[in-house]
Amino acid sequence: MALDKQQLVEMYRRMCRIRYFEEAVIEIHSSGELIGPAHPYIGEEAVAVGACAALRDTDRIAGNHRSHGHPIAKGGDVNRAMAEILGKSDGYCKGKGGSMHLADFSIGILGESGIVASSVPIATGAALAAKLSKQDFVSLVFFGDGASNQGACHESMNMASLWDLPVIFMCENNGYAITTSYKNSVSVDHVSDRASAYGMPGVLIDGQDAIAVWEATNEAVRRARAGEGPTLIEAMTYRFEDHSLGLDKIRKSEYRTQEEVDEAMTRDPLPIHRSAMINQGFVTATECDEIEATVHTEIEGAVEFARNSPYPQPEDLYEDMWATPV
Amino acid sequence: MATKTYIQAIAEATIEEMERDKSVFTMGEDLRHSVYGATAGLVERFGEDRVLDTPLSENGFFGAALGASLCGMRPIVETVTSFLWVGMDQLISQAAKMRYMFGGQAELPVTFRVRMFYARGASAHHSDRNYPVFMNTPGLKIICPSNAYDAKGLMKTAVRDNDVCLLFEDGIAISSRTEVPDNADLPNGELLVPFGVANIVQPGSDVTIVGIAGGVQHAIDAAKVLEAEGVSAEIIDPRTLVPLDTETILKSVAKTGRLVVVDPAHKMCSAGSEIAAIVAQEGFWDLQAPIQVVASEQINVPYSPALEPLIYPTPEKVVSAIRTVLG
Ligand SMILES: Cc1ncc(C[n+]2csc(CCOP(=O)(O)OP(=O)(O)O)c2C)c(N)n1
Ligand SMILES: [Mg+2]
C-alpha cells in the first residue's frame, strides 16, 4: 500500500498547519498575551502527521506536554485549539485545560498530559477497551525519550504485550528531556531496543520523514487491528525551539551546541515532505505555495477566532467537576 | 545585612551543607542546567557524583535516595509538587513508614526540595499545593518556608535532620527578597531555624492570622489594609506544619479571641482545617467568633487567566474573613 496524492497533500497541509500554529503561539507568547508554559512542536511535525495519517477518526490518540501538533495532526480544529491556549470559552476544554491539555474526544483525541508518561497507561487502557468490547479501533500514544524512563511506560508496555492490546507506542526521540541528553538518561542505544524485552516489535525510523513514519505506523496499525498486539516505534526527531515558552532562561543552545541545532535544522520535515511530493510528480511547487498560503490564512483566522472568543465566566468555575455534582 | 531571594537562600543552604558534610549529595532532573534555579554551578563545584542528573523516573530516584540514606548518605532531592504523585509509592509506603515498621532501625536523612508552582497559568497538572496530603501521612516532616531567611535556615536544619523532610518552596515567594544575614555576622557562624517554632511576623491584639507559605504575604497585605481602620492583627507563620507549633497559635488566640487561617492548599482537609480543628478543640473558650479558613476552592486548578486567580486566597479574601470574625 502506498499513499496517494490526496493523502500526501493532506499530510503536507497538516504539517504546515502545525508549523504555523506553533509560530503563532510563539508570537502570542512573546507579546505577553499568554503567561503559562507552552511547548513548541516545531521540527517534529512529521511524527504526528505521519502517525495520524495511518489512523481513522475512531482510533484514539493520547499525548504529552508537547501536544499542540498531535491533535492538529489527528484532524483537530485549530480555532478551538488556539482558543484553548488563550484560555477562552470556545476552547476545546472551555479554557480549563490550556496548552498542555488539548483534547477532542469526538475524534479520538483522549487528551494530553503535563505529567510526563502519564498518558501511556491511558492509551493502553483505551486499547484494552477496544479488545474487551470487540471494537476495531486502535490507540496510539505519543511520548518522549525522557518519558520512556518512567515506570508507567515500562508497565504499560508489558501489559500491552501480555494482553496483545491494539496499541502503538510512538516514542518521539528528540534527544533531550528539557536539558538532559538521551545518552545521560537512557541505558540503551535506542528506546526501540527495549521492545524485545517486552516481546513486541521495536521499529527505529527517521522521524523527519512523514512518509517513513506513516509506513511504520501503518504496519503497526495493521498488526494491532489483526489482534497481533502492540508495537514500539521510535521516531528520531529534533526539537528546533526551546523546550518551553515561558522557561526562556534555558535557551535551546545552552545544553546543545549551536552546530548540533543548525545541523538538525537542515532536516526540516516540511521541505523534506514537500520535495518528496514534487519529486514524485504529485504536485508542483506552485501548488505547494498555494497550500502554504491557505494554511497561513487559516491560522490567522484561528488567532482572530481565539482573540474574539470570550473568557469563561466566574460561574463556570464549578462546571465540569463532577458527573453528579456533590 | 544583605537581602537575598528565596532561591538564592536555598542555593546557599545547599552549598553550605554539601561543603560541611561529604555525605550530602543532590539528585534530581536537569540540575546541571539549573532548570528550577537553585542548582547553578553545583556540578562545577562538587562534581557529577554529588550532583546527579537523574532520568525522568521519580518513583525510581525518590526510592534510590531513600535507599542511599539508609546506608549513610544524606540526599537532597529536587522535584516539583506535581511530580511527587509519580513517586507516591516510595514517599508513602517507604519514606514515611520504614523507620516505624522496622522498629526504629531505619534512619532516613533525606530532604525533598519540592517546588510548588501555582498561579501562573500552568493548569491542573502543574499547580499542586499538596503539603496537606503529606501531613495526613504520619512519618514525614513538612516544612513550608514563606521567605528567604526561613528557607535557608529551615533547609539547613532539614539536611541535618534524621527524618524524611519535605520542604515546599512556594512558587510565588521564590523570587521575593528578605534579609538573610551573612554567616560571619551570626553568633554561631551559620543560620539554622529550628522545626516546630512558629514565627510571630507581627504582634497584634484584635485578630490572629495564621499564614502558610505564600499565605503569609496575603496575611501581611490584609493586615496593612485593616491597620488603617485601627485593627491590630497578630500574624503567625508556623514555618513547619509537621511538627506544628500549636502553643504559639493557641497563646495568640487566647489573646485575640479570633482566628483566620490563610492556606494556599485546597480547603478540604487542608493545613488550615487542621489548625482550625486544633484551635476549636483546645482553644474553644478563648474564641469570640467562629474561625475562618481562607483556602483554595475545592476544584482543580483551571487554566484560563480569567478563572485561575479566582480560586486562590487573596489579600481581599483575607480582609473579608477578618471583617467576618470581627463581627
Ligand atoms: C513526572 C514529571 N516529571 C518532570 C516533569 C518536567 N518535565 C516536563 S517536560 C520534561 C521533559 C520531557 O522529555 P521528553 O519525554 O523527552 O519529551 P520532550 O519534551 O523532549 O518532547 C520534563 C522533565 C514533568 N512534567 N512530569
Ligand atoms: Mg525528548
Which positions 141-180 of A are in contact with B (Cβ < 8 Å)?
146-147, 149-152, 177-180
Angle, helix A269-279 to helix A210-225, in steps of 10 degrees:
90
B157: domain CATH number? 3.40.50.970
**The pLDDT of residue A252:** 58
**B266 catalytic per annotation:** no
Is A34–B55 a contact, with Cβ atoms under 8 angstroms apart? no
Number of structural domains in chain B? 2
Mean pLDDT of A274-287: 97
| Residue having the nearest C-alpha atom to atom 21 of ligand 1 | A144
**The pLDDT of residue A212:** 98
| C-alpha to C-alpha distance for A277 and B318, rounded to whole angstroms | 63
Amino acid at residue number A185: S
Are residues B160 and B249 located together in one domain of the fold?
no
Ligand 1 pocket by Cβ (under 6 Å):
A 65-66, 114-116, 144-147, 172, 174, 176-178, 239, 243; B 29, 56, 58, 83, 86
- Residue A250: exposed, middle, or buried by beta-carbon count in 10 A (0-12, 13-18, 19+)? middle
**The pLDDT of residue A246:** 79
Q: How confident is the model at residue B2 (pLDDT cuts 50, 70, 90)?
A: confident
Lookup: cell for B306: 480569567
**The pLDDT of residue A247:** 63
B169: CB partners within 8 A, 6+ apart: B6, B7, B10, B113, B114, B115, B116, B145, B151
Architecture of domain A5-306: 3-Layer(aba) Sandwich (3.40)
Q: Are B155 and B262 in contact (CB under 8 A)?
A: no
Q: Are B121 and A86 in contact (CB under 8 A)?
A: no
Distance of CA B119 to the CA centre of its chain: 16
* SS3 assignment for chain A: CCCCHHHHHHHHHHHHHHHHHHHHHHHHHHCCCCCCCECCCCCCHHHHHHHHCCCCCCCEEEECCCCCHHHHHCCCCHHHHHHHHCCCCCCCCCCCCCHHHCCEHHHCEEEECCCCCCCHHHHHHHHHHHHHCCCCCCEEEEEECCHHHCHHHHHHHHHHHHCCCCEEEEEEECCEECCEEHHHCCCCCCHHHHHHHHCCCEEEEECCCHHHHHHHHHHHHHHHHCCCCCEEEEEECCCCCCCCECCCCCCCCCCCCHHHHHHHHCCCHHHHHHHHHHHCCCCCHHHHHHHHHHHHHHHHHHHHHHHHCCCCCHHHCCCCCCCCCC
Average pLDDT, chain A: 96
Are residues B171 and B225 located together in one domain of the fold?
no
Please give the DSSP secondary-structure letter assigned to residue B301.
P
Residue A254 scores a pLDDT above 90: no
Is B307–A101 a contact, with Cβ atoms under 8 angstroms apart? no
Is B120–A117 a contact, with Cβ atoms under 8 angstroms apart? no
Are residues B34 and B98 located together in one domain of the fold?
yes
Distance of CA B280 to the CA centre of its chain: 24
**The pLDDT of residue A217:** 98
Are residues B70 and B123 located together in one domain of the fold?
yes
Closest by CA to A148, choosing from A194, A179, A112, A184, is A194
A88 chain-B contacts, CB cut-off 8 A: 304
pLDDT tens digits, one per residue of B141-152? 999 999 999 999
**The pLDDT of residue A35:** 83
Are residues B110 and B50 located together in one domain of the fold?
yes
Lookup: cell for B261: 487561617
A255 chain-B contacts, CB cut-off 8 A: 32-33
Q: For residue A177, how far is its CA from the centre of ligand 2 (angstroms)?
A: 4
Q: Evaluate whether residue B192 is within a structural domain.
A: no
B54 chain-A contacts, CB cut-off 8 A: 185
| C-alpha to C-alpha distance for B82 and A147, rounded to whole angstroms | 15
B123 chain-A contacts, CB cut-off 8 A: 36, 97-101, 114
Are residues B180 and B233 located together in one domain of the fold?
no
Q: Which atom of ligand 1 is nearest to the CA of A66?
A: 21
Percent of all residues in chain B with a pLDDT value above 90, rounded to a whole number: 99
Residue A253 scores a pLDDT above 60: no
Which of B185, B207, B225 is the last residue before a domain boundary? B185
Mean pLDDT of B116-131: 96
Q: Are A160 and A221 in contact (CB under 8 A)?
A: no
Is B306–A36 a contact, with Cβ atoms under 8 angstroms apart? no
- Residues with CB under 5 Å of ion ligand 2 are A 144-146, 174, 177
Domain range list for chain A = 5-306
Is B59–A313 a contact, with Cβ atoms under 8 angstroms apart? no
CB neighbours of residue A34 within 10 Å: 22
Lookup: cell for B17: 551543607
Are residues B54 and B168 located together in one domain of the fold?
yes
Q: How far is B215 from chain A (nearest CA, A)?
A: 22
**The pLDDT of residue B83:** 98
Residue A99 scores a pLDDT above 90: yes
| C-alpha to C-alpha distance for B154 and B145, rounded to whole angstroms | 7
Q: For residue B105, how far is its CA from the centre of ligand 1 (angstroms)?
A: 36
Q: For residue A237, how far is its CA from the centre of ligand 2 (angstroms)?
A: 9
**The pLDDT of residue A251:** 64
**The pLDDT of residue A8:** 98
Q: For residue A288, how far is its CA from the centre of ligand 2 (angstroms)?
A: 30
Average pLDDT, chain B: 97
B75: CB partners within 8 A, 6+ apart: B24, B25, B26, B27, B65, B68, B69, B110, B111
Residue A1 scores a pLDDT above 80: no
Q: How confident is the model at residue A186 (pLDDT cuts 50, 70, 90)?
A: very high
pLDDT tens digits, one per residue of B202-220? 999 999 999 999 999 999 9
Q: Evaluate whether residue B191 is within a structural domain.
A: no
**This prediction's pTM:** 0.97
Q: Which of A84, A95, A115 faces B82 most closely, judged by CB atoms?
A: A115
Measured between alpha carbons, how far apart are the two ends of chain A, in Å? 53
Closest by CA to A16, choosing from A318, A271, A281, A307, is A271
**The pLDDT of residue A21:** 98
Residue A290 scores a pLDDT above 90: yes
Q: Which of B57, B126, B310 faces A151 most closely, judged by CB atoms?
A: B57
Residue B38 scores a pLDDT above 80: yes
Which of B153, B185, B217 is the last residue before a domain boundary? B185
Structure-model confidence comparison of residues A247 and A55, the more confident one: A55
Q: For residue A173, how far is its CA from the centre of ligand 2 (angstroms)?
A: 5
Q: Which of B124, B297, B305 faces A87 most closely, judged by CB atoms?
A: B305
Owning domain of residue B291:
199-326
Mean pLDDT of A221-232: 98
Percent of all residues in chain B with a pLDDT value above 70, rounded to a whole number: 100
CA quadruple A306, A309, A310, A316: dihedral sign? negative
**The pLDDT of residue A248:** 54
Are residues B153 and B217 located together in one domain of the fold?
no
